[in-house]
Structure 1
Amino acid sequence: MVVETRYVTSGEVFVAYQISGQDGPDLLMTPGFVSHLEQSWENPSIARFLSDLGSFSRLIRFDKRGTGLSDRGVGVPHLDERIDDIRAVLDAAGSKRAYLFGVSEGGPMSILFAATYPGRVAGLILFGTYARTVGASVPFDDFAALERTIRSDWGTGKSLPSFSPSAAAIPGAIDRFAKFERSAASPSDVINLMRMNREIDVTAILPSVRVPTLVMHRRDDVRIRAFAGRELGERISGARYTELSGNDHLPWFGDQNRLLEEIRQFMGVSATAIEVDRVLSTVLFTDIVDSTRKASLVGDRQWRSTLEAHHAAVRSELERHRGREVKTTGDGFLALFDGPARAVRCAQGIVSAVRPLDLEVRAGVHTGEVEMMGDDVGGIAVHIAARVAQHANASEVLASSTVKDLVAGAGLKFVDQGRAELKGLAEPMRLFAVV
C-alpha cells in the first residue's frame, strides 16, 4: 500500500505522519520506542495489521520526534513534547476527537494526553504497555547488559526474538527487522531513549483518566510483564482489562485477529460525550517573599509600581511557556499548564525575571486533577500546589514527586527535600527542589 507521508511542525520540530484507512472513527496509533512509517508497509505482517485497522477506522500514525521520518537530532523528547506532538498531528489531520491506541512505550504518552485532553479522546486503547518502566520491562532488569547489546547488535535484527519470538522463524524476518532498526534510530539514539524511558512513571495520574479505556496484554509478553497491564486495568477507573494468550510483544505478530476484534468491538460502542469539568493540569503557585515588610518600607505608591512590574514579568513568562493565568492572589499568581516541564521552567523564569525588581518569589508546582469552575479552578491539586509553594524558600521552586516523575528526560534537575506534612493531606508528600 502506498500512503502519503506528510509533515506538521510541533514547536520547531517536523513530525512525520500518515493517514490511511476508510471513513470511520479516527484512530491515532502511538508507536513504541522507535518506528518508521514507510518501513512498516514493507513488512507483510505489519502491513496486514495496519490495513485491517484501517478497514474500520481512519488510521492516523506518526513517528515520534527523534525517530523514523521525523526530525532527528532533537535530543531526548520528554512527555510534554510528546503530547504536544500528538496534538499537532491530530490538528493537522483535522481530527477533533479520536481513539488513542498506545503500544508499548506509546502507552504513557497516550495516558497523559487522555487525562489532559479528555474532550479530544473518544477512548483509550492500551496494548503491551505500563505506567512505569522499572520492574515492568524485562530488559531493564539489567540495564547495563541492555546497553551493551544495543551497542553491539543494533541494526543486525538480532533483537527480534526479544520482541516477538514467533516472528524470528519467519523467512526474511530478521533481515527486515535489521533494516527497520537502522532506519528508525541510531544506536546512540536508542540508548538515550532507553535511559529516559527507565525514568517514566505516570502511576500518579492513572486515576485522572476518565475516558473509556481498553487495556490488553499478552499473558507471557517477553518484553513487558503482564502485571503491568493488570495494574493499568485496576487503576484506571472503569477500564476493561483483557489478557490475551501468547508471548509476542509486538501487536502485529502472534494472534492479530483476536486483538483486532477487541479493538473493533471497543470502538463500535458509542462513546458518551464527556463533560469536561475535571481535567489533568499542572498547577503553579507563586508569591512574593516578605511582601508586607517590603510594602511598608517603600510606601503604597512605590509598592504599587513594583507590583505592576512584577505582574508584567510574570505574565511575560506565562505567555512564553504557554501557561494560563487563572488569577492573581494579591502578591502572587495561580496558573495552569498542560505540561509539567513547561510549568517548572516557567517558575524558574519567574524567579529570575523578578530579581532586577529587588524581589524574591517562591513557587510550588503540582500535577493533578483540577475542577474547572467557570474562570476559576478548584480541587485537591490546586490545594496541594498552594501548600507546596508555602514550603518553598525565597527564590526556590518546589515540585511534588508527581511532577518529578512526569518530567523524566526533560533535562530538569531536582534535589530531594524529603517528606513534608501538607495541611489537608492524610499522608506526607515528598518534595523536590528544582536546581
Structure 2
Amino acid sequence: MAGRRFQAARIQFASRFDLDIAYQVLGEGPVDLIVMPGPFVPIDVMDAEPAMYRFYRRLSSFCRVIRFDQRGMGMSSRIGSDATVTPSCWAEDAITVLDAIGSERAAVLASGFTAVSALLLAADHPDRVSHLVLVNASARALWAADYEFGAKSDGANPFTTIAHEPDAVERGFDVLRIVAPSVASDRAFRSWWDHAGNRAASPSMARKSSEVIAGADVRHKLSSITTPTLVMHRRDSAFVGVEHGRYLGDHIACARYVELPGNDSLYWIGDAGPMLDEVEEFITGSRGEADAERVLSTVVITDIVGSTARAATLGDDRWRDLLDHHDATVRNTLDRFRGHEINTAGDGFIATFTSPSGALDCAEAIVDAVASIGLEVRVGVHAGEVEMRGDDIAGMAVHIGARIAALAGPSEVLVSSTVREIVAGSLRTFTSRGVHDLKGVPGPWHLYSL
C-alpha cells in the first residue's frame, strides 16, 4: 500500500432499460470486489467520513473496488413502482454495474440486513460471484418460530417508521446509538450520518426500502450457495445479533465463520483492521502489510496559558468547571470551521483540517472565543503528512505542530513557513518571529505570527 495515492473516484452510470445506476471504481487490484449498498449511505458522501475513507483505501489496495447506489437511492434513478423495490432487483443492479465495467466475475461484500440481496446474487448467479463476504449480516430480520433470534415485529416497527423522520432522535429513537454505539456521541460523525441519510433517499423511499428489508427472508437460498463464503460477525452487535451470523455460518455449506470483538454493526466503524485482514487473506490468499495511512493535513494544536497557576488559584472544582467550559467552547469552534478533533492533550486540543485557510480561521476564532471566558491559549499550526493510526494521528508533522505551539505567546497563533507559503495570496498578514531550532526536528524553522 505504501506510496500509492487514493484519489477521489469519478461517479459513472450504468444503464438498464430506463434505469441509471450510479457507481464508482476504486483501485486497480487483480480481483474485482463489488460492495452491496447498505446502510443508506450514498457513494458521493462516503469519502467524507474519515473511517469509511480509510476502510475503502485499504480495500482498494488489494482489490478493484466497485460501489454503487441501488435504484431509488443516492444518485441512481428514482423509481415509481413498488414492484421494483426488492432484494432481487437490487441484485440485478449489481449485475448491471458489473456488465458496465466489463467484469465477468467479482467478489461480493455485504453487511447488515441488506445482505439479503447479496445472498440472492450468490445463489442465483453463481457464475458471477467468485467470493462472498458477509459482515454482521443476516438472511432474515424478523422473528419466526424457526428463527427465534429475529426481532419481534413490534420491535422492528420503529426502524420502518420513526427512524426515517427528521426528529427521530428527539422522539426518543436514536438509530445511530443502536447501529454504532462507539460513535453515537461523536458530533462530527452524527452530522455526517444525518447528511448521508438525507442524501440517500426521501423519507418515503427509505421507509419502503426498510419495510422490504424487514420482510425479506432468503433462508431457503442458503443451501444453493456454492461460492466460497466468509462470514464475520461482531460478538456484541445489538442491531444485528451475533446469532444471525452464526446461522449463516451453519447453513452455507462452504462458509468460514469468524467472530470478532466489538458492538458496532456498521462494518467500517470500530476496529476494522482485523476484519480487513480476514477479507484480504480470503480473497487474495495472503495478508499484506497494512502500512499506516499518510494523508496531507493541517494540524492545529492549542494549549491553555498558565493553567497550573490558574488551577491553584481557583481550586479543583472551579478549575474543572472552567476547563469544561473551555472544552465546549473549543469543540463548538472546531465544528463551526469543520475541524476534526483528534484528542485532548494536557490542557489543549489537537485537531486537523483539510484546508490550511480554514485552520487559520479556526485558530483565530479559538483565541477570541476562550478569551470571552477569561482564558488565554497559545496555538501552533503546521501543514504536512500525518500518519493515521485508528482515530489518532502521528508523525513528524504532529511533532512540529507541538513544538511551534510551545513557542507561541499568550493569545498568539504561531505558524510554520510551510503554512505561510501555502496560503500566500490570501491577503493574510504574518509577522516574522525569526528562525528557531525545534527540539527533535531537523533543520532551522522560520516561524510567523498570524
Establish whether residue 42 from structure 1 lines up as the match of residue 48 from structure 2.
yes
Aligned-partner residue type, residue 263 of structure 2:
N
Shift in Å, 1:174: 1.1
**Alignment correspondent of 2:162:** 148
Distance 2:153 2:61 in 1: 36
Distance 2:240 2:28 in 1: 32
**Alignment correspondent of 2:68:** 62
Distance 1:174 1:149 in 2: 14
Shift in Å, 1:158: 4.7
Identical residues among aligned pairs (%): 33
Distance 1:225 1:29 in 2: 21
Establish whether residue 262 from structure 1 lines up as the match of residue 278 from structure 2.
yes
Please say if residues 139 and 248 of structure 2, whose CA atoms lie closer than 8 Å, have aligned partners that are also in contact.
yes
Shift in Å, 1:61: 0.5
**Alignment correspondent of 1:51:** 57
Shift in Å, 1:83: 1.8
Aligned-partner residue type, residue 205 of structure 2:
D
Shift in Å, 1:144: 3.5
Please say if residues 13 and 71 of structure 1, whose CA atoms lie closer than 8 Å, have aligned partners that are also in contact.
yes
Distance 1:94 1:190 in 2: 31
2:250 to 234, 252, 256: 234
**Alignment correspondent of 2:24:** 18
| 1:118 aligned counterpart, secondary structure | coil
Please say if residues 51 and 269 of structure 2, whose CA atoms lie closer than 8 Å, have aligned partners that are also in contact.
yes
Distance 2:88 2:151 in 1: 26
Question: More displaced, 103-112 or 54-63?
Answer: 103-112
**Alignment correspondent of 1:252:** 268
| 2:127 aligned counterpart, secondary structure | helix
Relative to structure 1, the CA distance from residue 195 to residue 20 in structure 2 (aligned partners, 3 Å threshold; closer, same or farther) is same
Shift in Å, 1:177: 0.8
Aligned-partner residue type, residue 256 of structure 2:
R
TM-score (structure 1 length as normaliser): 0.59
1:288-299 matches, cutoff 5 A: none
Aligned-partner residue type, residue 16 of structure 1:
A
**Alignment correspondent of 1:165:** 181
Shift in Å, 1:261: 0.3
| 1:221 aligned counterpart, secondary structure | coil
Shift in Å, 1:265: 0.6
Establish whether residue 92 from structure 1 lines up as the match of residue 105 from structure 2.
no
Relative to structure 1, the CA distance from residue 158 to residue 148 in structure 2 (aligned partners, 3 Å threshold; closer, same or farther) is closer
Structure 1 residues 124-150: Cα deviation after superposition (integer angstroms, max 9, x where no partner): 101111111113565965234341343
| 1:64 aligned counterpart, secondary structure | coil
1:119 to 123, 127, 142: 127
Distance 2:222 2:246 in 1: 13
Relative to structure 1, the CA distance from residue 23 to residue 149 in structure 2 (aligned partners, 3 Å threshold; closer, same or farther) is closer
Relative to structure 1, the CA distance from residue 98 to residue 158 in structure 2 (aligned partners, 3 Å threshold; closer, same or farther) is same
Distance 1:227 1:141 in 2: 20
Please say if residues 108 and 129 of structure 2, whose CA atoms lie closer than 8 Å, have aligned partners that are also in contact.
yes
TM-score (structure 2 length as normaliser): 0.57
**Alignment correspondent of 1:194:** 210
Distance 1:140 1:44 in 2: 35
After superposition, the CA RMSD in angstroms is: 2.1
**Alignment correspondent of 1:330:** none
1:33-432 matches, cutoff 5 A: 33-76=39-82, 77-135=85-143, 141-146=154-159, 147-153=161-167, 158-269=174-285
Aligned pairs, number: 270
**Alignment correspondent of 2:368:** none
Relative to structure 1, the CA distance from residue 105 to residue 143 in structure 2 (aligned partners, 3 Å threshold; closer, same or farther) is closer
Please say if residues 183 and 189 of structure 2, whose CA atoms lie closer than 8 Å, have aligned partners that are also in contact.
yes
| 2:109 aligned counterpart, secondary structure | strand
Which of structures 1 and 2 has the bigger CA Rg? 2
Structure 1 residues 173-216: Cα deviation after superposition (integer angstroms, max 9, x where no partner): 11111111111112211211111112211101101000100001
Relative to structure 1, the CA distance from residue 24 to residue 103 in structure 2 (aligned partners, 3 Å threshold; closer, same or farther) is same
Structure 1 residues 294-325: Cα deviation after superposition (integer angstroms, max 9, x where no partner): xxxxxxxxxxxxxxxxxxxxxxxxxxxxxxxx
Relative to structure 1, the CA distance from residue 33 to residue 177 in structure 2 (aligned partners, 3 Å threshold; closer, same or farther) is closer
Please say if residues 30 and 100 of structure 1, whose CA atoms lie closer than 8 Å, have aligned partners that are also in contact.
yes
Relative to structure 1, the CA distance from residue 160 to residue 145 in structure 2 (aligned partners, 3 Å threshold; closer, same or farther) is closer
Relative to structure 1, the CA distance from residue 105 to residue 53 in structure 2 (aligned partners, 3 Å threshold; closer, same or farther) is same
Distance 2:163 2:117 in 1: 26
Shift in Å, 1:269: 3.0
Distance 1:27 1:144 in 2: 33
**Alignment correspondent of 1:7:** 13
Please say if residues 229 and 255 of structure 2, whose CA atoms lie closer than 8 Å, have aligned partners that are also in contact.
yes
Shift in Å, 1:155: 9.6
Please say if residues 154 and 187 of structure 1, whose CA atoms lie closer than 8 Å, have aligned partners that are also in contact.
no
Q: Which has the higher contact order (CA 8 A, sep 6+)?
A: 1
Shift in Å, 1:238: 2.1
